Structure 1
Amino acid sequence: MNNEPMLELSGIVRRFEQGGTVLDVLRGAELTVRAGELVALVGPSGAGKSTLLQIAGLLEKPTTGTVRIAGTDVSDLDDGKRTEVRRRSIGFVYQFHHLLPEFSARENVVLPQMIAGVSKSIAKQRADELLRMVGLDARGSHRPARLSGGEQQRVAIARALANAPSLLIADEPTGNLDPHTAENVFAMLTAIVRQARVGALVATHNLELARRMDRVLEMRDGVLVEHAAAPEAAVPEEA
């Protein structure tokens, strides 16, 4: 079975300077996410989870350290190359779906493919396939306003997978959903990660979901600490 690393972070340091004060948010974080694996990222607000996700998603550069996506060192790429890697190899899902309201569900999944240079006909076929995977093949012509919250988030997941990425980065993907809907979206996300062999890094405050992922990493004092199960102490919800 292909179990290669989709994301590798080595010795990640992120330092900010404000008014002569130096703040080390990340102090040598280490992380590997493999194909078909879901890794939960937990920790209180302000611990550095968002900074780590930004670095993993090539939206921000570390002060020092190495970032590899699907085995390729992307640490020193210029902005143009980083954008190419994001477009080709990384999918993003956020707490709020950020779908384009003037376009249908299908069009929201087609657009990132066309931006990446895929023909419209092939992009439509891929979009229909992904919408079937998330159980929305009958809702493809509907705009986001006509979809429920859970349906909108499922479209967002389909869009994140549109360009067949190696890595999926999800920031509170069920945080804006009621418990029942969150459960359904998480189950669907898990099934797709397994099927597509994507590596998934999922930041969450939902410890119930975190415990059901393959591994749980807690951000603590700028480094990542692995738990056999989620930490016993509850992680506070963000205000």
Structure 2
Amino acid sequence: MSDAPMDNMLELKAVVRRFEQAGETLEVLRGVDLTVGAGELVALVGPSGAGKSTLLHIAGLLERPTEGRVSIGGTDVSGLDDGKRTEVRRRAIGFVYQFHHLLPEFSARENIVLPQMIAGVAKSTARQRADELLRMVGLEQRGTHRPARLSGGEQQRVAIARALANAPSLLIADEPTGNLDPHTAEHVFAMLSAIVRQAKVGALVATHNLDLARRMDRVLEMRDGRLVEYDPGELEPLGDPASLRAETSGS
């Protein structure tokens, strides 16, 4: 058990990630410390190649750090074997990506039911939860539609509902509005923010959209393998906002 406070949905302590490449050692993360609290939205910004994706993969238990500790919901998971890590990931972490990755042969409702059934939830209970989440994201009338019949914004809202299907304590989002037009991105972000607050989920959101980053609780920039924190209203140290907005993919 970690000594992390229980209201910290995520804690990284002195996390290092090294890769061996062509006989050389590449150090992507150099002693990263990070916490994300319950109901908190934390923006992760920085140019492509800075290490944001590596950080998200470690936070989401998709990758192990070379050194350091990872705690989810107050529990140190650093020493767990692969099977236990998968169990924690299914139960405690939800993922949202730039592209929705919905299963095209299944309806919106079924896409939300499936991860629950994989986690061992009874089908009837999973359906009830799916209907509840569809109402939460304003798509209760679209549950029987397959992804091809949904707009881009609707597809991403279903993806967010799917990420919340197993009532995770932590949400990892990688450019969740990066594939949407500005108006739709605004709507999806507002909905995501409301759900994070209501469900008391901790959310770590990688984004190149500084307008959205300014509306989160904290902004963290990946710089030289470390995190630098800014107040959301003071993003000028990040450099040229136009160049960051022009980026369309995470690192």
One-letter code aligned to 2:228: V
Which residue in 2 is equivalent to 1:152? 155
- In the alignment, which of 206, 218, 235 is matched to residue 231 of structure 1? 235
**SS of the counterpart of 2:195?**
helix
Query: In the alignment, which of 120, 123, 128 is matched to residue 125 of structure 1?
Result: 128
Partner residue in 2 for 1:4: 7
- Deviations 1:141-194 (Å, cap 9, x if unpaired)? 000000000000000000000000000000000000000000000000000000
Written as runs of structure 1 = structure 2, the 5 A alignment for 1:49-68 is 49-68=52-71
Query: Distance between the aligned counterparts of 1:121 and 1:65, measured in 2?
Result: 41
1:173 aligned onto 2:183:
no
Question: C-alpha separation between the residues in 2 aligned to 1:140 and 1:217?
Answer: 36
Out of 91, 97, 101, the residue aligned to residue 104 of structure 2 is 101
User: Which structure 1 residue ranges, 4+ long, deviate > 4 Å from structure 2?
Assistant: none
Alignment partners' CA distance in 2, 1:104 and 1:167: 25
Q: Deviation of residue 3 (structure 1)?
A: 7.6
Task: Give the one of 89, 99, 113 matched to 1:110.
Answer: 113
8 Å contact kept, 1:39–1:216: yes
Tell me, yes or no, if structure 1 residue 33 matches structure 2 residue 36: yes
CA RMSD of aligned residues (A): 1.2
Q: Contact 1:3 / 1:36 at 8 angstroms: preserved in 2?
A: no
1:136-151 map, 5 Å: 136-151=139-154
**TM-score, structure 1 as length reference:** 0.98
Instruction: Normalising by structure 2, report the TM-score.
Output: 0.93
Q: Deviations over 1:72-93 (max 9, x none)?
A: 0001111101100000000000
Q: Whole-Å Cα distance in 2 between the matches of residues 26 and 179 of structure 1?
A: 32
- Count residues with an aligned counterpart: 238
* Pick aligned residue for 2:75 from 72, 76, 85: 72
Identity %: 81
Match of 2:196 among 183, 193, 196: 193
Shift of 1:55: 0.1
